[in-house]
Structure 1
Amino acid sequence: MAILNVAIGTGWMGMRRRAKALLLGCALLTAPQRPAAGEAGVGTVEAQVKAAYIYRFAEHIEWPAEAFASPTAPLTIAVVEAEQVAAELNQLRQTRQIKGRAVSVRTLRAGDAAGGVQVLYIGALDGGRLKRTLEAAPGAGVLAITDGAGTLAAGSAISFVQIDNRIRFDVSLAHAERNGLKISARLLAVAHKIEGEKP
């Protein structure tokens, strides 16, 4: 769990150093691990890293007040077609809050309604299913995270990408702003690529 601990360590002093350590750990993933027969999802280590990233993303997003039913409502993460990532998120939520809120994790299938969520993570889907799943999402107040190079074009604010066998992430500022979200400069500082960045 050393990789996981690096990714979700408290505080942002030395974030670049921790991010580099995380990415170095990800370099050990020469290829995504194969799930056991009959099990959907990515390999265990990859799932841990992505879950840690998702938690970190949520910690550095500013949501509009109306995104939550009340000041004490939990932050809900919906996971589509990525069971191992959902399992890792469920482990994290047992001991970690996000911005003082308890965390709830829901597992969905492609096309399921995703009302009442603040984070929507969609595992690797083909273009058509990905587009339909994003279109079914509420939009406003939702941080949509996708998996794979080029998936920002489908409408997500953040997408995981593999660079030299390392898990990195790209950001679309336009898609985040469209949904009323503000991404912290500290998170943007460690992104692989930022679309819509002002010169």
Structure 2
Amino acid sequence: MKTWLSSLLLKRGLVLALLLLGVLINPCAAQPDWPNDEFQIKAAFLYKFAGYVEWPEGSPGPVDAPLTIGVLGADPIAEELMQIVQGRKIQSRGLAVRRLKAGDSLDDVAILFVGKGDATQLKPLRGALQARPVLVVTEEPAGLALGGMINFLPVDRNVRFEVSLDSVKKGGLRLSSRLLAVAQKVHGEGR
């Protein structure tokens, strides 16, 4: 009886050792595949960016009006953002999300997110954006060159961002040094 039990324990111990060795060699095997929900991450970033922007005096709009984040061409991100901002405040202001289409007014928009593939819309908007302090966020490889101030970047299957200080300054905005410290890249001199 002892031999049978010893043999069983030895086999179980060997199987356990092999499983642990497999996990050490390939640590990902021990974890389920967690989907990197890019939409949720980008929406969370957009919400957080609002807390690190300093708008000029009197902007963006009346103090009792909500801070509006406009989303152009990225409905899944707009959906996520609507859930995130519900009931929350930034700088003692309520938050609102507005889905935009080409040609829509940007009058009440404090942050404009332009989705992938829609960055060509920035060129016609440049005139309207230059006269107003609007934080422009994109997700195109050349987003900053197209007029974006912050651009999302894929880095090792993670969402990161880069900043154009020159564009931020032209827009009359200031970004917190805490935000700049966590950016993947900061371009220009800006301040």
Identity %: 41
Q: Does 1:77 align with 2:86?
A: no
Aligned to 2:121: 129
Q: Report the CA distance shift for 1:86/1:134 in structure 2 as closer, same or farther (over 3 A).
A: farther
Q: Does 1:95 align with 2:102?
A: no
Q: Secondary structure at the match of 2:89?
A: coil
More helix by share: 2
Letter aligned with residue 123 of structure 1: G
Check conservation: 1:152, 1:159, Cα contact below 8 A.
Answer: yes
Check conservation: 1:110, 1:133, Cα contact below 8 A.
Answer: no
CA distance in 1, matches of 2:110, 2:135: 6
For normalisation by structure 2, the TM-score amounts to 0.75
Larger Rg: 2
CA distance in 2, matches of 1:166, 1:62: 27
Check conservation: 1:111, 1:132, Cα contact below 8 A.
Answer: no
> Over aligned residue pairs, what C-alpha RMSD do you find?
2.0
Counting matched residue pairs gives 157
Q: Report the CA distance shift for 1:137/1:180 in structure 2 as closer, same or farther (over 3 A).
A: closer
Return the match for 2:107 from 102, 115, 122. Answer: 115
Q: Does 1:47 align with 2:39?
A: yes
Q: Secondary structure at the match of 1:65?
A: coil
Point out where structure 1 has 5 or more consecutive residues left out of the alignment.
1-26, 30-44
CA distance in 2, matches of 1:100, 1:138: 26
Q: Report the CA distance shift for 1:96/1:156 in structure 2 as closer, same or farther (over 3 A).
A: same
Return the match for 1:170 from 146, 157, 162. Answer: 162
Return the match for 2:181 from 175, 184, 189. Answer: 189
Q: Secondary structure at the match of 1:66?
A: coil
CA distance in 1, matches of 2:142, 2:123: 12
Q: Report the CA distance shift for 1:193/1:139 in structure 2 as closer, same or farther (over 3 A).
A: farther
CA distance in 1, matches of 2:63, 2:128: 26
CA distance in 2, matches of 1:163, 1:111: 32
